[in-house]
């Protein structure tokens, strides 16, 4: 059962438990899935809806049923011949009172046995933080919090603790030993003397309490991005690796899981070492697995954002990534490059913003460094400064100069991170640094040019291993590790969570792992990507929807149609801008809400996400839709960080934007929005089916995110984690209608499910064809050849030809169903290799050779034909 044939991702939380998953195992088995793919299941913070804030690595989360429920789920899976792949979080933990390791560090400081588990800078330059941990948990300034009585000494479980709001923090053993029975009275914050005594007690602890907004400037532990409640782990330490993975390894050894997906691998000090270490440990545990569990090699993939020209290192010994690069490629090949000019011009004319996406990303990086990562910037600068001070040749380099150089390198860094180690950088990373240095040279002070090249050398251009053992070598290695852990969160927050919400040329290309500067790729480019994947990482995941996506897969597929009808879209938006001017508001600070950029992005979201069954006069339905869009809009405005942000919400601007939205949807404008959404809905559905077919048949292992077996018009989280109607899905699957028959009621999503089910069952019947089959492009001929993307997979006499239609707006725009009339294919054909072919989606048969596209496709925008042993 290795590698998996297809994964189905489920998000576990108190509202959908492991026992709830037992009830859907039969459905996924019937659909053709081989493995469930679970979000993190170790104990997380109470009420967590995602599981990435693990607080106890040794326990299966009781909120989702605990280990007993896990065993029930695995028993159900094994009964159906299925397995389980588990999402794990090696980079960080949720911290707070629920994390016993963190509480032990607060109580004992550097003497805690867990002090080395967390990535804490105990020797911070601030004297107030030396050998202390900054806790940015106060809702206001420290003095006000103390004065208002939110800090007090309290007795809890026979121990004195510091009560902070409703939480209780430990105090050091020495402090506790000095307290008498009247300690609460002596430290009463309602009196001047009590406040002074309480303050003196707080100052003697191994932590320093502060206002939460100080974290970005002062925090001395590595965070996950800029989230104070998620603290980085020193997973590169063997003891930490073993302790945090103890339960994972036990679950694997006992046959309860069959593989892992490693979250945020770029946050680790040494991803290569970690992945190889993990693979080694899993390989050693295989012999302990029970007879009923597969003893094949564990499935191992990593969450990694790859640049367009970047490949996952094969020496990491993983099966691949979680599939963001495929999400980018399959989206881009369904976009029309002809729309780039008109869409870019519309964006620039309406917004007055001439900067392209790359420029927006650079600006966002510069802002993010100041707004969110000052402490991380200082930490990295100090590591480089230590490297300079360690060598007598560079002892006169100043910290301020290093910081200036570092800023420019980070601002212009073109990828998420590099992977230099003791041997220095490889050729790819050298090219990355060359691009970063080239960008930095355009903006750096002339006096810092020499230092820029020097710093680039310290960061892996010169191999530390070539230096003699000693302080210089250690300082260089430390600087490399700290720098490489800094680039990834800066990139993610700047590109995904800032520039991606600022640049609105076409939102279907603003997605995790996607370069929004690239609107489309050719069919040939897509084929090259597939062939490379087949040759290098044939078992990598293929995703088109994830728990982190910004827009649902079918929402993006519908918005892609705008690249085909760009002229019509431009005219429509310009008309709407004039007609809806009266809905805009001027806020107290003189700003117009929404701005032109925010208005244009809102229009895209409204026509892209408009529900297929929503009539504009359905007041209740429109209200539900408005509420969902309003939640997206408020989050998008804050992520963009232009007129408002999470740390300083500009509520008048946000409210003005929401009022504009609701005015649109409560006026005649709703009918126009609905009409345009209807015009692009059918070619968008054709795109959605094409995207689905390509994910299920090109080289790799398809990942089916929960609920996306029907149409997926979800928005960014938490909207994309809404409950799934599995009963409706099971009922339509039981009817077993062919995709062609399901076209009549295509709006309910059953046609997509029919395509998914038939292709997954084909994968189940012929696993080797998909796991090992070659990939070869096929070229159609005739007047509509450019509308065809086709290829053949082949392995030991088995063959599969897949063809999908693309750029169908001129055929399907405004029509009733994603059914392509036969006359559109007139004169266009595709040559099938020799063989006895059967239609995977119907009952037709063919002997191969030159076949008319109308015959191959039937009414559908997708076709799959199989030949060979059954």
Q: Does pLDDT of 407 surpass 60?
A: yes
The pLDDT of residue 742 is 96
Q: What are phi and psi of 470, to 5 degrees?
A: 155, -170
Going by C-alpha positions, the residue among 591, 674, 669, 668 that lies closest to residue 637 is 591
Are 481 and 352 within one domain?
Answer: yes
Q: Where are the alpha helices (DSSP H) in 286-356?
A: 324-334, 340-351
Strand partners, 864: 802
**Which among 566, 513, 548 is positioned nearest to 332, based on CA atoms?**
513
| Shared-domain flag, residues 79 and 173 | no
Regarding whether 273 and 353 lie in a shared domain, the answer is no
154 and 24, same structural domain? no
Shared-domain flag, residues 62 and 134: no
* pLDDT of 762 above 90: yes
- The answer to whether residue 603 is domain-embedded is no
Checking if the pLDDT of 105 tops 80, the result is yes
Choosing from 228, 260, 286, the residue where a domain stops is 228
Final residue belonging to a domain, choices 505, 530, 550: 505
Q: Residue 606 — pLDDT band, cuts 50, 70, 90?
A: very high
In a domain, 516, yes or no: no
Domain assignment present for residue 193? The answer is yes
Helix, strand, or coil (residue 580): coil
Whichever domain contains 86, its CATH number is 3.20.20.80
Average pLDDT over residues 765-784: 97
Mean pLDDT, the chain, integer: 96
Alpha carbons 84 and 320: distance in angstroms, whole number: 17
pLDDT reading at 2 higher than 80: no
Least Cα distance to 569 among 345, 329, 861 occurs for 345
In a domain, 705, yes or no: no
Residue 1 has pLDDT above 50, yes or no: no
Q: How far apart are the first and last CA of the chain?
A: 20
pLDDT tens-digit series, residues 607-619: 999 999 999 999 9
Let me know whether 358 and 453 are in one domain: yes
Q: What is the pLDDT of residue 124?
A: 85
pLDDT at 845: 83
Cα separation, 526 vs 532, in Å, equals 10
Residue 440 lies in a domain: yes
Helix (H/G/I), strand (E/B), else coil: 89: coil
Asked if residue 148 and residue 188 are part of one domain, the reply reads yes
Q: What is the mean pLDDT of residues 181-207?
A: 96
Question: How does residue 125 score in pLDDT terms, banded at 50, 70 and 90?
Answer: confident
**Of the given ranges (254-263, 294-303, 317-326, 843-852), which has the lowest mean pLDDT?**
843-852
Helix (H) or strand (E) holding 482: helix 471-491
The answer to whether position 415 is within a domain reads yes
Among 746, 783, 780, 699, which Cα is nearest to 860's? 746
Which residue blocks in 122-226 are alpha helix, DSSP H? 142-147, 173-177, 183-186, 192-203, 215-218
Task: Check pLDDT > 70 for residue 870.
Answer: no
Q: Which residues, including other chains, have CB under 8 Å from residue 47's CB and lie 6 or more apart?
A: 14, 63
pLDDT at 3 over 90: no
In this structure, the answer to whether residues 291 and 379 fall within a common structural domain is: no
Strand locations in 480-563, DSSP E? 541-542
CATH number of the domain at 129, please.
Answer: 3.30.1590.10
CA distance linking residue 594 with residue 584, whole number of Å:
6
Query: pLDDT: is 308 or 33 the higher one?
Result: 33
Instruction: Put residue 210 in one of left, alpha, beta given phi > 0 → left and psi -120 to 50 → alpha.
Output: beta
Say which residues have a Cβ less than 8 Å from residue 101's Cβ, sequence separation at least 6. Answer: 93, 114, 117, 118
pLDDT in tens, 423-436: 999 999 999 999 99
Question: Do residues 768 and 858 share a domain?
Answer: yes
Asked if 497 and 352 sit in the same domain, the reply is yes
Whether 570 is covered by a domain: the verdict is no
pTM above 0.85, yes or no: yes
pLDDT the model gives residue 646: 92
- What's the sign of the alpha-carbon dihedral 364, 367, 368, 371? negative
| Closest-CA residue to 703 (of 1, 3, 5, 2) | 5
State yes or no: pLDDT of 527 exceeds 80: yes
Average pLDDT, stretch 128-157? Answer: 95
Closest to 230 in 3D by CA, of 77, 483, 52: 52
Pairing mode, strands 133-138 and 207-211? parallel
What's the domain count of the chain? 4
Q: Domain range spanning residue 495?
A: 340-505
Last residue of a domain, one of 197, 228, 259: 228
Q: So what's the pLDDT on residue 157?
A: 86
Same domain, 275 and 352: no
Between CA 429 and CA 420 the distance in angstroms is: 8
Query: Same domain for 393 and 409?
Result: yes
**680-709 residue pLDDT tens:** 999 999 999 999 999 999 999 999 999 999
Residue 440 pLDDT: 96
Is residue 854 in a domain? yes
Mean pLDDT of the 793-821 span: 96
Helices (H) and strands (E) in the chain, counts: 33, 28
């Amino acid at each position: 059962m290795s590698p998996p044939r297809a994964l189905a991702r489920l998000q576990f939380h108190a509202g959908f438990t492991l026992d709830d998953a037992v009830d859907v195992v039969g459905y996924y088995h019937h659909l053709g899935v081989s493995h469930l793919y679970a979000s993190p299941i170790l104990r997380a913070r109470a009420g967590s809806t995602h599981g990435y804030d693990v607080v106890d690595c040794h326990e299966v989360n009781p909120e989702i049923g605990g280990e007993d429920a896990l065993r029930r789920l695995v028993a159900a899976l094994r009964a159906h011949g299925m397995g389980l792949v588990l999402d794990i979080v090696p980079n960080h933990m949720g911290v707070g009172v629920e994390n016993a390791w963190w509480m032990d560090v607060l109580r004992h400081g550097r003497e805690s046995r867990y002090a080395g588990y967390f990535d804490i800078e105990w020797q911070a330059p601030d004297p107030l933080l030396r050998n202390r941990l900054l806790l940015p948990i106060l809702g206001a300034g420290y003095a006000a919090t103390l004065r208002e009585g939110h800090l007090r000494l309290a007795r809890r479980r026979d121990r004195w603790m510091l009560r902070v709001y409703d939480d209780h923090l430990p105090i050091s053993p020495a402090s506790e030993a000095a307290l008498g029975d009247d300690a609460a009275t002596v430290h009463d914050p309602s009196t001047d003397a009590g406040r002074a005594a309480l303050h003196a007690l707080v100052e003697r602890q191994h932590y320093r309490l502060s206002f939460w907004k100080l974290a970005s400037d002062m925090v001395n532990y590595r965070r996950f991005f800029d989230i104070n409640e998620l603290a980085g782990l020193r997973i590169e330490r063997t003891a930490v690796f073993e302790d945090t993975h103890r339960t994972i390894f036990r679950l694997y050894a006992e046959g309860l899981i069959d593989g892992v997906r490693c979250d945020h691998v770029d946050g680790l000090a040494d991803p290569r070492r970690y992945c190889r270490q993990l693979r080694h440990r899993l390989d050693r545990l295989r012999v302990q697995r029970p007879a009923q569990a597969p003893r094949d090699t564990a499935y191992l993939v990593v969450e990694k954002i790859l640049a367009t020209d970047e490949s996952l290192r094969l020496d990491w010994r993983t099966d691949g990534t979680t599939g963001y690069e495929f999400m980018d490629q399959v989206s881009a090949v369904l976009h029309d490059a002809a729309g780039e000019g008109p869409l870019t011009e519309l964006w620039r004319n309406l917004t007055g913003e001439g900067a392209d996406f790359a420029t927006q990303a650079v600006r966002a990086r510069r802002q993010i460094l100041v707004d969110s990562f000052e402490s991380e910037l200082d930490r990295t600068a100090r590591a480089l400064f230590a490297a300079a001070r360690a060598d007598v040749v560079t002892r006169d380099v100043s910290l301020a100069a290093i910081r200036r150089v570092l800023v420019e390198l980070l601002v212009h860094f073109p990828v998420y991170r590099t992977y230099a180690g003791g041997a220095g950088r490889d050729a790819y990373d050298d090219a990355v640094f060359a691009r970063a240095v080239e960008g930095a040279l355009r903006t750096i002070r002339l006096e810092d040019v020499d230092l820029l090249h020097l710093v680039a050398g310290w960061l892996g251009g010169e191999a530390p291993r070539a230096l003699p053992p000693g302080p210089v070598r250690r300082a260089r290695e430390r600087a490399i590790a700290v720098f490489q852990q800094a680039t990834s969160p800066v990139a993610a927050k700047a590109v995904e969570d800032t520039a991606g919400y600022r640049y609105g040329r076409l939102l279907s290309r603003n997605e995790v792992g996607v370069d929004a500067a690239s609107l489309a790729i050719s069919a040939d480019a897509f084929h090259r990507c597939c062939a490379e994947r087949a040759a290098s990482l044939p078992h990598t995941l293929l995703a088109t929807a994830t728990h982190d996506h910004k827009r649902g897969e079918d929402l993006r597929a519908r918005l892609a149609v705008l690249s085909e009808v760009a002229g019509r879209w431009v005219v429509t938006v310009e008309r709407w801008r004039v007609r809806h001017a009266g809905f805009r508001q001027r806020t107290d600070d003189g700003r117009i809400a929404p701005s032109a950029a925010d208005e244009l992005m809102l229009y895209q979201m409204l026509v892209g996400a408009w529900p297929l069954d929503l009539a504009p006069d359905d007041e209740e339905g429109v209200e539900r839709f408005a509420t969902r869009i309003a939640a997206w809009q408020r989050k998008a405005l804050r992520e963009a960080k232009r007129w408002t942000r999470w740390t300083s919400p500009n509520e008048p601007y946000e409210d003005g934007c929401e009022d504009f939205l609701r005015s649109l949807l409560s006026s005649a404008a709703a009918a126009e929005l609905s009409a345009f959404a209807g015009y692009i809905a059918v070619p968008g559905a054709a795109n959605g089916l094409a995207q689905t077919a390509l994910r299920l048949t090109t080289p790799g292992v398809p990942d089916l995110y929960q609920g996306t077996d029907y149409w997926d018009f979800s928005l960014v989280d938490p909207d994309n984690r809404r409950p799934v109607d599995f009963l409706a899905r099971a009922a339509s699957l039981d009817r077993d209608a062919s995709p062609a028959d399901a076209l009549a009621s295509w709006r309910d999503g059953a046609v997509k499910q029919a395509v998914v089910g038939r292709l997954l069952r084909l994968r189940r019947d012929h696993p080797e064809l998909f796991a090992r089959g070659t990939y070869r492009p096929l070229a159609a001929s005739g007047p509509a050849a450019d509308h065809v993307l086709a290829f053949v997979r082949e392995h030991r006499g088995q063959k599969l030809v897949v063809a999908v239609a693309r750029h169908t707006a001129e055929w399907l725009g405004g029509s009733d169903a994603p059914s392509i009339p036969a006359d559109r294919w007139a004169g266009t054909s595709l040559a099938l290799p020799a063989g006895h072919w059967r239609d995977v989606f119907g009952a037709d048969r063919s002997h191969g050779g030159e076949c008319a596209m109308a015959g191959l496709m039937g009414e559908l925008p997708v076709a799959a034909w199989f030949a060979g042993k059954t």
